[in-house]
Amino acid sequence: MAEKLISGDVYFPAEETVANSHVKDWNALNKYALENYEKFWSERASELEWFQPWEKIIEDEDKPFYKWFVGAKTNIVHNCLDRHVKTPNRNKLALIWEGENGESKTYSYFALHRETVKFANVLKSLGVKKGDRVTIYMGRSPEIVMAMLACARIGAIHSVVYGGFSVEALHERIEDSQSRVLIVQDGAYQRGKIVPLKDIADEALQRAATVEHVLVVKRTGHQINMESGRDMWYHELATLPIATQKCPPEEMDAEDPLFILYTSGTTGKPKAILHTHGGYMVGTYTTLKYVFDIKEEDRYWCAADPGWITGHSYIVYGPLLNGTTSFMYEGAPNYPYPNRWWQMIERYGINILYTAPTAIRGLMRWGNAWVTRHDLSSLRLLGSVGEPINPEAWKWYYDVVGRGKCPIMDTWWQTETGMFMITPMPSVPLKPGSGTRPFPGLLMDVLDEEGKSVKNNEEGFLVIKNPWPAMIRTIYGDPDRYVQQYWSRFPGSYLTGDSARRDDDGYIWIIGRVDDVIKVSGYRLGTAEIESALVSHPYVVEAAAIGLPHEVKGNAIHTFVILKYGVEKTEELKEELKKHVGHEVGPIAKPEHVEFVDSLPKTRSGKIMRRVLKAKALGIDPGNLSTLED
Ligand code: PRX
């Protein structure tokens, strides 16, 4: 029944894989979803529980401010936890967690429900209510899952800041969201050391005035400062009688905000992407079920961080909505040795592994023996996300990790899309390096400068032409920017910011970002964030950042810096500037390279032409220079 594909290197699924998967005939499902788009999604939504049904599936009167499941009432946490607790699934493991120091914990659905209720009561006791923003700055711990679910349960909007971000990045996000409560861990283990999350938060809070309460979750137990009247230990509040009270999930409108998550954009400060209870729930539930083909007995591991959209959708919400067992690991993949991941897959019998190309390339560098000495026969499916996967890494992942038996789901999506958008399913023929085709029912296209579809195999702007349930609803606090950023370049189409081409089989190949976003190890960073961190150093007048290809990270950050008059250009200063960016934005943003320059190429209106810097660094033709000032 395999499809006939006409171009490229194709990996066809095994007959057994097709026979056992939820979606056996992708073409039939796609046809159905295209012809019955709203019905397709309402059927998916009906697999979940609603306190009140919807009156309308999609409302597009005020587009691009689309609404989904209009009039319906639900709470995503009800579907993640309460729904399962009513069934024999209550005793099934929801979460298996391993700390970097070898500690391990497990939570059944019943236990995760109990702990979430406790956490929600503690938040309520601090005065948190529906619509309040709560910033969460933690490591990969079971408590981050509870903290997120607790917010959603009482209708508060969580804003998770990745634990690898640092002082200024955290400050900016707290201030923009106007959070009154911050949930933080004392620290997290990473590569045998402690990441001092609470110390970083203390410094950020000196700059941010909105926070009244800091709830501190104990993980490392190292010495931290507790400011009296502001800081409270979670474990102390959790033992108070108030914590064990009943706490039914707040009845939320399908369109009520669930969370905001900051991500880097073209210019200026990070944008708060807003997602909602109803559509996001249906989108993440359905895509995870179909793409990772979730089965009753699965143990699923998404190795991302909860602080990024991958973690929100496919560590926290998607897996719990599907009632599956998730595995979470706190630390670094090569700690203490490069076989840590493979050891855990063997120990816990993981069936599905979902990670990023940068991690695959990093693990590949250590050699096959670290992998092959472990029994990885439990693995059934593999996944990749965050940046294009180069065919060499794809094949290594397929042959060595997957033993030639596990299809790779290369999923393309974004913080803004909330759910997988271009992705295979296990029954779909694969081509290494392509995420195959849009998820059933989605209309995507590749356009030229004028907005016309380009021919097959030509490069253009990747756009999405119909609304989807888990789509971004707005940029929190800045609806104009939402319209401007995503819907103004090609009216009626959502601009992804990526360039792509489509081959003769309709398979899409992502080329990369066409804006000032740099993908470093799959992390999304804006040139503006790195540049403003550099300029905040007393010796720096101006700075430009670009991404250049890097073997493991995909891209590495290179910076060009103009120093204040009279400051000596030394190697020590270069190191100091790298450290400064690490301290302000986070270790992931540390430049690989700092170059001192006397001027930067600019347009006549004063915009830095990063494309010129990039071309020069790569020794290629910079293209049209007509707008260059000098
Ligand atoms: O450039 C694309 C790249 O990651 C961007 C979105 O980044 P972020 O919002 O941080 O979300 C990452 C995780 C969903 C996209 O615009 N990207 C994501 N997945 C892929 C990818 N590029 C190629 N292939 C992918 N599978």
Q: Torsions phi, psi of 108, nearest 5? A: -75, 170
Query: How many CB atoms are closer than 10 A to CB 509?
Result: 21
- The rounded Å distance from CA 434 to ligand 1 centre is 13
Tell me how far apart the alpha carbons of residues 58 and 66 are, in angstroms, rounded to a whole number.
Answer: 7
Q: Quick one: pLDDT at residue 218?
A: 98
Question: How many residues does the structure list for the chain?
Answer: 630
Q: Quick one: pLDDT at residue 4?
A: 76
* pLDDT tens digits for range 64-99: 999 999 999 999 999 999 999 999 999 999 999 999
- The rounded Å distance from CA 387 to ligand 1 centre is 5
* pLDDT tens digits for range 414-432: 999 999 999 999 999 999 9
Tell me how far apart the alpha carbons of residues 521 and 553 are, in angstroms, rounded to a whole number.
Answer: 4
- The rounded Å distance from CA 421 to ligand 1 centre is 10
Q: Which atom of ligand 1 is nearest to the CA of 423?
A: 26
- The rounded Å distance from CA 358 to ligand 1 centre is 12
- Strand 325-329 and strand 56-59: the pairing is unpaired
Is residue 354 within 8 A of residue 383, CB to CB? The reply is yes
Q: Which of 7-16, 275-284, 349-358, 376-385 has the lowest mean pLDDT?
A: 7-16
* pLDDT tens digits for range 450-476: 999 999 999 999 999 999 999 999 999
* pLDDT tens digits for range 121-151: 999 999 999 999 999 999 999 999 999 999 9
- The rounded Å distance from CA 414 to ligand 1 centre is 5
Q: Torsions phi, psi of 33, nearest 5? A: -70, -35
Tell me, using a 6 A CB cutoff, whether residue 305 lines ligand 1: no
- The rounded Å distance from CA 206 to ligand 1 centre is 34
- Name which residue leads in pLDDT, 210 or 440: 440
- The rounded Å distance from CA 107 to ligand 1 centre is 31
Tell me, using a 6 A CB cutoff, whether residue 383 lines ligand 1: no
Segment 305-318 mean pLDDT: 97
Tell me, using a 6 A CB cutoff, whether residue 466 lines ligand 1: no
Residue ranges of alpha helices (H) inside 412-471 are: none
Q: Which of 373-377, 484-488, 528-532, 606-610 has the lowest mean pLDDT?
A: 606-610
Q: Which of 22-31, 143-152, 524-533, 560-569 has the lowest mean pLDDT?
A: 524-533
- Give the chain's mean pLDDT: 95
* pLDDT tens digits for range 180-193: 999 999 999 999 99
Tell me, using a 6 A CB cutoff, whether residue 387 lines ligand 1: yes
State how far the alpha carbon of 211 is from the alpha carbons of 135, 171, 204, 243, 260, in Å. 9, 10, 10, 22, 17
| 411: Cβ contacts below 8 Å, ≥ 6 apart | 291, 383, 384, 385, 420, 422, 423, 435
Tell me how far apart the alpha carbons of residues 418 and 595 are, in angstroms, rounded to a whole number.
Answer: 37
* pLDDT tens digits for range 234-268: 999 999 999 999 999 999 999 999 999 999 876 67
List beta partners, residue 494: 464
Q: Looking at the predicted structure, is the pLDDT value of residue 100 above 50?
A: yes
Tell me how far apart the alpha carbons of residues 78 and 543 are, in angstroms, rounded to a whole number.
Answer: 48
Q: Which atom of ligand 1 is nearest to the CA of 304?
A: 13
Closest to 444 (Cα-Cα) out of 395, 404, 406, 493: 493
Q: Looking at the predicted structure, is the pLDDT value of residue 209 above 90?
A: no
Which residue from 274, 314, 414 has its CB within 8 A of the most atoms of ligand 1, so it is best to mutate? Answer: 414
Query: How many CB atoms are closer than 10 A to CB 253?
Result: 18
* pLDDT tens digits for range 400-417: 999 999 999 999 999 999
Residue ranges of alpha helices (H) inside 223-339 are: 234-237, 277-291, 309-311, 318-321
Tell me, using a 6 A CB cutoff, whether residue 510 lines ligand 1: yes
| Alpha carbon nearest to ligand 1 atom 13, residue | 386
Q: Quick one: pLDDT at residue 2?
A: 53
Tell me, using a 6 A CB cutoff, whether residue 358 lines ligand 1: no
- The rounded Å distance from CA 314 to ligand 1 centre is 14
Burial group, residue 567, by CB count within 10 angstroms (0-12, 13-18, 19+): middle
Tell me, using a 6 A CB cutoff, whether residue 140 lines ligand 1: no
Tell me, using a 6 A CB cutoff, whether residue 421 lines ligand 1: no
Structure-block tokens of residue 24: 């056996």
- The rounded Å distance from CA 329 to ligand 1 centre is 22
Q: Looking at the predicted structure, is the pLDDT value of residue 1 above 80?
A: no
| 389: Cβ contacts below 8 Å, ≥ 6 apart | 357, 360, 397, 408, 410, 432, 433
Which residue from 382, 387, 515 has its CB within 8 A of the most atoms of ligand 1, so it is best to mutate? Answer: 387
Tell me, using a 6 A CB cutoff, whether residue 54 lines ligand 1: no
Q: Which atom of ligand 1 is nearest to the CA of 410?
A: 26
Tell me how far apart the alpha carbons of residues 94 and 343 are, in angstroms, rounded to a whole number.
Answer: 21
DSSP characters for 383-426?
A: EEESSPPPHHHHHHIIIIISTTTS-EEEEB--TTT-S--B---T
Structure-block tokens of residue 133: 């923003």
Q: Quick one: pLDDT at residue 516?
A: 85
Q: Quick one: pLDDT at residue 630?
A: 64
Place of tokens 């634990």: 163
Q: Which amino acid is at 438?
A: P
Q: Looking at the predicted structure, is the pLDDT value of residue 119 above 70?
A: yes
571 sits in which H/E element: helix 571-584
